[in-house]
Amino acid sequence: MLTRRSLSLLGTGALSSVAIRPVFAQTAGDRAAAFVKSTGDRILGAMRGAGSVDERRKILGPIIDSAIDVDGIARFCLGRFWKNASADQQKRYTELFHKVLIGNITSRLGEYQEVKLTIGRSQPRDDNDIVSTVIERPNNPPATVDWVVANAGTAPKVIDVIAENTSLRQTQRNDYAAYLTRNNNDVDALITAMRAQLEQN
């Protein structure tokens, strides 16, 4: 259910070697850029030392959870259906959202070993900071990707990725809404589809 394009971009950014200008952590924008760099370095290190798929998931899980607001993104992606879901459905859906995200990134680790992420300028937008990056992959043109970082000055988390002027969490939200509309607004149907997706990884 998570689109291949969105997961590819998330995985590409997270698993990249990072080039960044010197950061002195004087502004929220500087701290946001340093956070994106640090996250990339941590996941790249985990990738280099990883063994089996299960081992990679165990290593990457805590890193992803610490860097990305997975719970918040999961709620956002379910949209208006979140408040109509039971507490049990919310719990099962959120747990699967975590596993599907980590599973997709883990299964694509080998594809990103030669990817380079260059960090550009940071700028404030609403209550967040936008870190602009350029992703370079072998045999592909460079792609501009913006990372939306919340709480850069205190407890930074990535809450969205914007590629080609498109919010990837909004795209996922639209996909989920369309699926639920076709399936009588049944959250359990979405959960079943997510579980099937997870089993394919």
Number of Cβ within 10 Å of residue 83's Cβ equals 9
State the chain's mean pLDDT as an integer. 82
SS (H, E, C) 122-161: EEEECCEEEEEEEEECCCCCCEEEEEEEECCCCCCEEEEE
Give the pair of three-digit tokens for residue 107.
């299964």
Domains and their CATH numbers in the chain: 4-194 (3.10.450.710)
DSSP 89: H
**Vertex 176, ends 175 and 179: CA angle to 5°?**
90
Q: Is 139 left (phi over 0), alpha (psi -120 to 50) or beta?
A: left
Specify the pLDDT at position 7: 45
| pTM score | 0.79
Distance between CA atoms of 21 and 27, rounded to whole angstroms? Answer: 14
Q: Please name the residues in contact with 31: beta carbons below 8 A apart, sequence gap of 6 or more.
A: 23, 25, 129, 152, 153, 156
Specify the pLDDT at position 113: 62
pLDDT in tens, 106-151: 666 556 666 677 888 899 998 999 999 888 877 888 888 899 999 9
Write the CA distances from 177 to 69, 73, 171, 182, 185, integer angstroms: 20, 14, 10, 9, 8
DSSP 68: B
Specify the pLDDT at position 79: 96
Specify the pLDDT at position 23: 43
Give the pair of three-digit tokens for residue 186.
């049944």
Specify the pLDDT at position 19: 39
Find the mean pLDDT for residues 176-186: 97
pLDDT in tens, 2-52: 555 554 444 444 433 333 344 443 588 889 999 998 887 787 677 666 567
Specify the pLDDT at position 167: 93
